[in-house]
A = this chain, B = another copy of it.
Amino acid sequence: MHSLPDDRTARAKIRDEALRLFGERGPDAVTVRDIAAAAGVSPALVIRHYQSKDGLRQAVDEHVTAVFEAMLTRAVGTGDGDPLDQAALPTLAEAMAEFLPADSPIPSYLGRLLLAAGPVGTALFRRLHEVSKDALAALAQAGAADTGADPDVRAAFLLVNDLAVLILRPQLREVLGVDPLSGDGMQRWATETLSVYRTGLGGNTDPT
């Protein structure tokens, strides 16, 4: 990422197609020949640029992580204006919808990254848990929420609720009839989650 002449043609295209295919089917189900064909190059060129398939996977990992990190800082950065409102917590999916094109392969790849065993996914998950804990603490300090008896678990609970939309996107789309990362789907999802976060599931919570 330093001083290479230009990332312009074949090399970047290989990485982008790999990102897309990895996100769709998972790295194990994608062959070097698949990637080469999708990028319109020969399999040998893929290896020539990235040494190995695993090298390519690492390059995609780093690229996706970098994009996501930039997105994170921008997302929490914008929260400074009105630091804590209803939208301060479930911003992960919303940030993706805002900063990425609707057909971006990054959400899918991120979902796989978080699921796969490995240092990258683990670090990413831990990072997100920290962000979640910080957000919860900020909400609590502002009196907009309570950290609960077990702040670590509560933050993890909030986090996985957000990640579920990434990880189970195909299944949710199948069952709900709408892509949970689309505008409409996010609206419906956010409404319900915020409702629960605000007042719980409802019902006769207090016998007044």
Which A residues have a C-beta under 8 Å from some C-beta of B? Answer: 26, 28-29, 114-115, 117, 121-122, 125-126, 129, 139-140, 143-146, 148-150, 152-154, 156-157, 160-161, 163-164, 167-168, 170-172, 174-176, 188-189, 191-193, 195-205
Contact = CB atoms under 8 A, between A and B. Distances in A.
Secondary structure of the A contact surface, majority rule? helix
A150 B125 CA distance: 30
A198 B191 CA distance: 17
Contacts of A148: 192, 195-196, 201-202
A153 B204 contact: no
Contact of A172 (B156, B168, B172, B193): B156
A108 to B, nearest CB: 11
Contact of A167 (B167, B196, B201): B167
